Amino acid sequence: MLYRNFCAMNSSRHTAAWRAWQRWAALLCIVCTTAVAAPAKKKASAGKVRKEPVVRAVPAARALPAEPTPPPSLPGDVPATRAAAVIVIDARSGEVLYEKNADEQRPAASTQKLLTALLVAERGYLDRPVTVMPTDTYAEPTKLNIKAGDTYQRIDLLRALLVKSCNDVARCLARDAGGSLEGFAEMMNARAQSLGATNSNFVNPNGLPIPGQYSCARDLSLIARAAYANPTIRSIVSLPNIVFRYANGQTRELENTNKVLKRLPYCNGMKTGYTDAAGHCLISSGARPGRDVIAVVLGDNKPNVWKDSAALLSWALWM
């Protein structure tokens, strides 16, 4: 009897525990199901409503027109240049090897000092003294700053003219040779005509801008060829630098303005030039055994005038 009562009591306890566990399990399932099904709430900013950023199409930046790049070479492997006018000749025969706008009238800037130098060299007596006059010093911007009353040998002034392109020196030599700048201009035009340079008109000896003065690449090549054949000029234009001694004893080293001289071992001259109207200009010469060439480049820019001239010389010497 006691055993039956004990079993009945244990059975009721077991049943109550089982039912409690079932209720707890059911509640746990409901909680889990709700947590999974409900979307996560975003944490709102205090007092602010967060909006999705508006994406606007950004117009593409307009690309600047690319500067046209010239081809590496023209037919016949001639180097392409951006210069306004070009001519390349054989310095021995005068044969034209390449030309571009060679007859276009243009300011020659200081390249025309080759004609000034040619007239002075052909006149001779280069050891004779020259006394500087006040009007000789009226020249800008490239000056040697020679002083009125000072005396120099012609050869020393000629070297300074061709190596450093000094405008006051050009006036001094021209006045000494022609009696006046006007008289020397007549000499320049007469000598140019005799060389076949008929598409030019020279008014001053240094190439500074002045109305009525012009030349062209072909005429300058004829003048350069005559200057190249002159031993005095030929020996000067190949000098990388010189030391100029002033009348008061002071000295100054003058570096050649032709940068191709330092870049090419076979370059041996000749003359640079620049004004705003003319652009960067260079008459360059080069030689190797059995061949001499001259390249005239007018209206180029500063970085390219050296590259273009060097490329033309190299091409012409080994074509």
Q: Closest by alpha carbon to 87, among 228, 287, 224?
A: 224
Q: Torsion angle, CA of 220/144/276/104, rounded to 10 degrees?
A: -10
Identity of the amino acid at 317? L
Q: Which element (helix H / strand E) includes 305?
A: helix 302-318
**Cis peptide bond N-terminal to 141, omega within 30:** yes
d(Cα 295, Cα 278) in Å, to the nearest integer?
17
Q: Do 143 and 167 form a contact (C-beta atoms < 8 A)?
A: yes
Catalytic residue positions, numbered: 110, 113, 165
CA 81, CA 78: separation in Å to the nearest integer?
9
3-state secondary structure of 256: coil
Query: Of 30, 29, 83, 49, which is closest to residue 282 (Cα–Cα)?
Result: 83
Q: Find the helix or strand (DSSP H, E) in which 231 lies.
A: helix 231-237
Question: 219 with 197: CB under 8 angstroms?
Answer: yes
Report yes or no: 267 and 248 within 8 Å, Cβ to Cβ: no
C-alpha closest to that of 219 among 299, 105, 84, 69: 105
Cis bond leading into 270, ω under 30°?
yes
What's the residue count for the chain? Answer: 319
